[in-house]
Amino acid sequence: MSRLSASWLMVVATLLFALMGVCVKFASGYFGTAAVVASRGVVGAVVIGLIAHAQRVSLRTAVPMLHVRRGVSGVAALSLWFYAISVLPLSTAVTLNYMSSVWMAVFLIIGALLPGGRRVDARLVWTVLIGFAGVALVLRPTLGEGQLLAGLVGLVSGMLAATAYIQVTALGRAGEPEVRVVFYFSLMTALGGTGIWLAAQMLSGHLHAPFAAAPWSGWLALVGAGVFATLAQLLMTRAYARGSMLVNANLQYLGIVHACVFGLLIFGDRLTPLSVAGMVLIVGSGMVAARLRPLVTAPKATQGSDHPMKEPA
């Protein structure tokens, strides 16, 4: 995996995230969403801790606040997204969350307009927008009456997710190894998910389901969600550290294609002509973005700015 390009790392990461989604779909029926989120963090922290020990990578960091900002924005985005899923149609919630790539393009454009900012390759911005059009065709989002607040929450979740990805890029530029980045995010996910789960139990007065009643397949799915998420997070972190932010953002849309295929094969979902057209746009825009050569542009100010929004596209 270490020899793969940033684009291929992101492609594999989206596949692993889709496998995580399959596990979450199975496990949440037995344990509830908050418990699955907490388990994802716990499993991730344990797996990454073992990997760090085997590779003799220190978990001590010189940039703790970058990790805190990445963790808070990531966990908040995940929590708001799950709230949106509980209220909105799933297709709408997923579409709003995948607007993170659009938000990322907006942040980079704003950063380019600030003093000392770098120009953004407009071609990559267009591939992001075309890819999101493909997402909309696949998912065909709708908002019903009384769902405006939840829709805004879903929109904010996508914006926070974009902020988290920008922080991932900043951590990579700061020289933080992906093992350390994913460990601290997993740790904060475990703490945040556990807190949400405990709060839900206090409000409901009972467990979502007795853990002892869950079959072995449910436990396997619970652990699998954490393992797949951890491996995907590692590859995604390495991709953002090595490659273009907007290329990676565009390739993330491939997760929708993987999810559609798994839904077709495992859950018996059906694909419409519009869904197929959307998948073609997603794959096509990702391929174009990955093959684009960066435009050579001079920065507006001195080199070496470590502001995550001022990195070259």
Q: Using a pLDDT cut of 70, give the percent of the chain over it.
A: 82
**58 by DSSP, 3-state: which?**
coil
Count CB neighbours of 242 within 10 A: 16
**283 by DSSP, 3-state: which?**
helix
Token readout for 222 is 């619970």
284 contacts 44 by C-beta, under 8 angstroms: no
Between 297 and 63, residue with greater pLDDT: 63
User: For residue 183, is pLDDT > 60?
Assistant: yes
User: For residue 303, is pLDDT > 70?
Assistant: no
Between 198 and 291, residue with greater pLDDT: 198
Count CB neighbours of 134 within 10 A: 23
Query: Which of the four pLDDT bands, split at 50, 70 and 90, describes residue 164?
Result: confident
Query: Which of the four pLDDT bands, split at 50, 70 and 90, describes residue 50?
Result: very high
User: For residue 110, is pLDDT > 90?
Assistant: no
- Name residue 272's amino acid: T
Token readout for 50 is 């073992």
127 contacts 104 by C-beta, under 8 angstroms: no
CA atoms 187, 40, 190, 309: torsion sign: positive
68 contacts 191 by C-beta, under 8 angstroms: no
Number of helices (H), then strands (E), in the chain: 12, 0
Could you tell me which of 284, 305, 297, 292 has the C-alpha nearest to residue 6? Answer: 292
Rounded CA separation 71/53 (Å): 22
Token readout for 164 is 């988290």
Q: Using a pLDDT cut of 90, give the percent of the chain over it.
A: 10
Count CB neighbours of 60 within 10 A: 7
The whole-number average pLDDT for the span 145-171 is 81
Rounded CA separation 108/40 (Å): 30
- Name residue 175's amino acid: G
205 contacts 11 by C-beta, under 8 angstroms: no
The whole-number average pLDDT for the span 127-153 is 76
User: For residue 297, is pLDDT > 50?
Assistant: no
18 contacts 269 by C-beta, under 8 angstroms: no
Global pTM reads 0.71
Average pLDDT, the chain: 78
CA distances from 177 to 37, 183, 206, 276 (A): 24, 10, 41, 38
Rounded CA separation 222/149 (Å): 31
